[in-house]
Chain A
Amino acid sequence: MAPSATTEGPPSTTNGSSDFNVVSTYKSLLASDPELTMPVAAIEALVETLAHSHATTISETLALLTTATNALKSAISNPISLSAGTDLFTRYLVSSLRNTGGSDTDFQAVRTHLLSNGRLFVQRAKESREKIASFGRHFVRDGCTVLTNGGSRVVGALLRSAADASPSGNARFRVVYVVHAPSSPGANEGMETVRALREKGVAVATVSEAAVGYSMGMVDMVIVGAEGVVENGGIISRLGTYQMGMLAKSMGRPFYVVAESHKFVRMYPLGQYDLGIEQKVVDFKTSEDDVAEPKGEKLEESATAVDFTPPNLISGIITESGVLTPSAVSEELIKIWF
């Protein structure tokens, strides 16, 4: 998921603050800490923006944030996950101000709170991952086989936690890990988790994406991560998740999503082609002329591409605040927007 976003893009021009570039801040944050997720990095970047700005009034600040957010979103090819963070931040600021009556002192208090606790937010985001892991591991029972994909850190944390919970490193569950073909740039994605799990004594099979349907019959549940959890309770996740969900559904296997609640994003896709981003997953051509084109970019594209898994395929969303049914997501999101 996230790490691929750290690839350096063209130095973006932002009109946020004179000597401060929110996009490069965002990217360097992601690059410096592999454990950081996109929404949290975005929040951090906005906190930095706030810190570097001299805006003193509420409207100035909000305008600044809007500009910075737009800059971030336009600089990243897939800003869905990121926007979960920026939206949350903005909403938090807005609702805090509204509730305090919007006086200047209140605003200063909020601002100070945000500025002085930047690291704490990051810390909490990571803690919520641990929380999910310690909680979600109860889904992984002895003797069961889990199918997962991608490089989701929280899924990895969950599985490691489940392995640790088993007595004396003798984990009694198995994992089928869907990985990219070795030649593709995303090949290493998830391999770290696979390695860690194997070290802990968990039997892990790595299979290609083409083998998902084949392996589904022998797994007891599917656990995936998500880039964003959308309003209808569906998820945006790396390409291939949707088909896993469909296969799991058709074979009667539970399909769990693991996601921190800061990945909840206020969007409502109607389907695969309504994600608000440009993806060249399906590229019709009449000639072979671009065979010579460096393959890297193409593969890169498919490694970062996402799809939408609708809520009816999801059995439950494991967040740090409990297991939500997809129907509960909407309420969570409604609450921060009112």
Chain B
Amino acid sequence: MPSSTASITPGLPSFLRTLKTSPVESSIEQFISLLKRRQIRNSRPCALATTQLLLRVVADFKGRDVAKLMARIRHVGQRLTAAQPREMAVGNIVRRVLGLVREVVEDDNEGDTPAMSEAGQSPPSNDVHQRPGLTSSISTFSPLKHGATQPTSPGEHHAQSLGESTFTHDDSSVHRPPLIGSHTSYAQPNAPIVTSLFGLFSHPSAPSPTSTPTGHSSPSMKPLTHTNLAMSELTLNDKAGTKDIKADVIEGIREILDELDQCTEQIAGYALEHIHADEIVLVHGSSTTVQKFLLTAARKRKFTVVHVESYPNDHLDTYSTVMNGRKKPGTSSGSAIDDEEESVDDMRFKPLTSAGISVILIPDAAVFAIMSRVNKVILATHTVLANGGLIASVGARNIAQAARAHQTPVVVLSGVYKLSPLYPFDTEELVEYGDSSRVLPYEDGKGVDGMEVVNPINDYVEAGLVDLYITNLGGHAPSYLYRIVADHYHVEDVNL
């Protein structure tokens, strides 16, 4: 197999290489076409490419008009998500960068023009220097609202979040962060978090919140028209003053890059908390995150891994993972969860067998048969949705359900960047279908003509089947994901 075909095949490495030199607009176009042709696929490469691209977009942005900067980011984001709505990591990153801009602006406002902040805000809680040094949580934003997508007019929220009303915010400043996990300690108390309950009483100064229909937010939606956004961004702009915020934003984006970079390691860092000696762990398909996690545990403990081969889309990657510890570079066989990046460097990945872990490879059909002896199921994921459900490669649903039937805990490993604020109204929409010839080769098979051969690539696994999520921030119950979503995305940005 060609080992470093990266320079030849268009993909993430080639994109990142040219990104530095080519004009922004052509980079955007390039990324869009790579997304459309699935030459960049899977959450991690998509997140990485999006972050790098946005870094360029921000750096390239001329002028100091924050509203225009946000509009620019949003516009790019719309094009990207439209190109490949199912790669939700793209949208996630765009939303986080948008949130980053908001955050920087708010910080600046407080720093520069304290008069702008309204009476109710309590200065200490808005301390810019509170920004924690941890890259993993640096880009967490003020929790806005719970729940997922909510189509209220952004304008309304905006006005509130910038502290134009008094009473609501008064209350929120006593809101106690300890409720939230430590990683969210950065949560800004002036957020209109309480408006969901006290909203009824808030001052009428908010722009008319009357039902601006804001389209639905299932991931395959088309971008909406955003006339109403203009208002909020104008407001933003007023506040932002003229200070150049670009440097701060760029710094923030770099922190997101760091987070992406360290995510797998950080998740693996929790491995020993979850895998005990002599355990039988079942994994599925091929995932760098899971592999790393198991390898980390293997350093200290002996256990057995049952590896489901994930036929017909990912079995080659599975074989490669079993034999070499990593996916074969260049094979883009299926929906494997997270591709490697450009570097073919690593000795970081070695097969589990060489670490003394016994690995049992089983076909997908044997999942139920073996589940009665499995202690723990560890799944990788493509996307985690706000309700705690997840999209993973096909077969994950069988495994999760079989685990439930045997009372076997299911642990899902996912970087926070895979956590999407979208709510799965229609899980069918999220499922991608692959080449049916993988299921039934065309060459042989007389009946192929009359048969509808179906090859879904993803499964939707509902939240109820998952016992624990492990992200780079730690372990969470599925019921707590709403909070992590709220910590990472501004509600105004949910609908791009």
Contact = CB atoms under 8 A, between A and B. Distances in A.
Nearest to A336: B197
Contacts of B174: 95, 98-99, 338
A323 B150 CA distance: 8
Contacts of B152: 131, 320-321
A261 B197 contact: yes
B200 A121 contact: yes
Interface string A123-145: 01101101100110111010000
B147 A323 contact: yes
A334 interface: yes
A336 B175 CA distance: 8
What size tier do the contact residues of chain A reach? 35 or more
Contacts of B193: 335
A188 interface: no
A113 interface: yes
Nearest to A317: B147
Contact of B201 (A121, A131, A324, A331): A121
Interface stretch (B12-20, B210-218, B333-341, B412-420): B210-218
A contact patch SS: helix
A322 B209 contact: no
A92 B201 contact: yes
A309 B496 CA distance: 36
B148 interface: yes
Given A321-B150, A335-B194, A335-B197, A139 B425 contact: yes
A319 B425 contact: no
Given A327-B480, A338-B176, A332 B197 contact: yes
A318 to B, nearest CB: 9
Nearest to B201: A92
A114 interface: yes
Interface in B420-459: 423, 425-426
Contacts of A320: 150, 152, 196, 199
A336 B483 contact: no
Contacts of B425: 138-139, 141
A243 interface: no
B421 to A, nearest CB: 9
A26 B152 CA distance: 30
Contacts of A92: 167, 171, 198, 201
A117 interface: yes
B126 interface: no
B147 A117 contact: no
Interface string B477-492: 1011011000000010
Contacts of A319: 147, 196
Interface string A305-338: 0000000000010011111111110011111101
Contact of A328 (B176, B210, B482): B482
Main secondary structure of the interface of B (DSSP, over half): loop
A242 interface: no
Contacts of B167: 92, 96, 99, 110, 113
Contacts of B198: 88, 92, 336
Contact of A323 (B211, B423, B426): B423
B213 A134 contact: yes
B390 to A, nearest CB: 14
A138 to B, nearest CB: 4
Nearest to A260: B200
A333 B194 CA distance: 9
B171 A95 contact: yes
Contact of A88 (B197, B423, B463): B197
B155 interface: no
B197 A100 contact: no
A177 interface: no
Contacts of B146: 321-322, 324, 328, 331-332
A138 B483 contact: no
Interface in B200-233: 200-201, 203-204, 209-211, 213-214, 216-218
Contacts of B216: 137-138
B422 to A, nearest CB: 11
Contacts of A324: 146-147, 482
Nearest to B149: A322
Given A121-B200, A141-B425, A135 B176 contact: no
A262 B195 CA distance: 10
A120 interface: yes
A135 B175 contact: no
A262 B480 CA distance: 22
B191 to A, nearest CB: 11
Contact of B217 (A95, A128, A138, A261): A138
17 contacts: A95-B170, A99-B174, A100-B166, A130-B210, A141-B425, A262-B197, A320-B196, A321-B145, A321-B146, A322-B491, A324-B147, A327-B477, A327-B480, A335-B193, A335-B197, A336-B194, A338-B175
Q: When A and B form their complex, which 5 residue pairs have the shortest distance between CB atoms, in order from nearest? A: A322-B147, A99-B170, A327-B479, A322-B150, A321-B196
Given A135-B151, A323-B148, A335-B179, 14 more contacts: A92-B167, A92-B171, A92-B201, A100-B120, A110-B167, A117-B201, A131-B152, A138-B217, A320-B196, A320-B199, A321-B195, A327-B479, A332-B196, A333-B197
